[in-house]
Amino acid sequence: MMKQSAGTVYIVGAGPGDPELITVKAMRRIQSADVILYDRLATTELLDYASKKVELIYCGKAPNAHAIPQDQINQLLVKYASQGKNVVRLKGGDPFVFGRGGEETLELAKHGIPYEVIPGITSAIGAAAAANIPLTHREHASSFACVTGTRCHGDKAPVRWDLLAHSVDTLAIYMGVSQLGSIREELLKHGKAASTPVALIERGTTSKQRTFTGTLEHIHHLAASVQLSNPALIIIGEVVKVREQLLMAEQQAEQQAEQMIG
């Protein structure tokens, strides 16, 4: 009896929230999937494009509440692919930017399972663009870093805020809402100016997006006053000023148009 050929696992980035930001290649893999294991931050609108016969498995990870532990997700990917099925692992943003795509591909490689990684627009790029904040700008920033905000204290490999405070022009911080006070404290302690502009982008690129700007000194108070919640991206750097410049330019253009009409 011939051994059944393994299917292929596609580790797919769904983008930052707006379903229209999915890539053509990712959409094709969704449409042809036998099984889709999808995350909390992968918009469920994309599942409408899947086959009616597809098996859907929710693998969402909210803070301190994982629907399925990561090791079990890895096992499911191997299991379904070993049955000859084409499997899509659908993740918000990009699979290799804080998406545990590296862990999953290592597990698949260990079992000899064919796989393909399909990149998605990561939240730093998507949410920043939706909020009219360029991560780099010739007058303000020549570098940016994507940082996780969940390793402020007690981790074996803590975030090096002492280095990030001065070595990078723009910081795009993921998963940092609950640690915003600590992030502020660490950056100020290591010499980041209290007047540094900061933006908070909640549910970036979606119809529920909210954007707030302030300074590093007071940003934790602003977040509390607006009841900022996950998912949210924190951008720290002079590039945040560009958003205000764009808003001002738009307002001036509207006023000029109204005067011409009047």
* pLDDT tens profile 10-53: 999 999 999 999 999 999 999 999 999 999 888 899 999 999 99
Note whether 199 and 150 are same-domain residues: yes
Q: What is the DSSP string of 180-191?
A: HHHHHHHHHHTT
CATH number of the domain encompassing residue 147: 3.30.950.10
CA distance to 82, 97, 220, 262, per residue, from 143 (Å): 43, 17, 25, 45
Helix (H) or strand (E) holding 194: none
Q: Give residue 42's domain range.
A: 9-121
Quote the CA–CA distance of 211 and 253 in Å, as a whole number.
Answer: 22
pLDDT of residue 248: 87
pLDDT of residue 140: 92
Query: What is the crossing angle of helices 70-82 and 101-110, to 10°?
Result: 40
> Could you tell me the pLDDT band of residue 64, with boundaries at 50, 70 and 90?
low
What is the torsional sign of CA 107, 109, 112, 118?
A: positive
Residue 151 burial (10 A CB sphere; 0-12, 13-18, 19+): middle
Domain ends where: 64, 90, 121? 121
% of the chain surpassing 70 pLDDT: 94
* pLDDT tens profile 246-255: 988 888 888 8
CATH number of the domain encompassing residue 29: 3.40.1010.10
pLDDT of residue 62: 67
User: Annotated active-site positions, please?
Assistant: 39, 61, 175
Q: How far out from the chain centre does Cα 220 lie? A: 21
Residue 253 lies in a domain: no
Note whether 36 and 138 are same-domain residues: no
Q: E strands, 99-244, where? A: 115-118, 144-148, 170-174, 197-202, 210-215, 232-236
Backbone φ/ψ region at 244: left (φ over 0), alpha (ψ -120 to 50), beta:
alpha
Q: Which residues of 169-178 are buried (b: 16+ CB within 10 A; e: fewer)?
A: bbbbbbbbbe
Note whether 157 and 229 are same-domain residues: yes
Note whether 80 and 180 are same-domain residues: no
- In the numeric block, the tokens 């405070």 are attached to 165
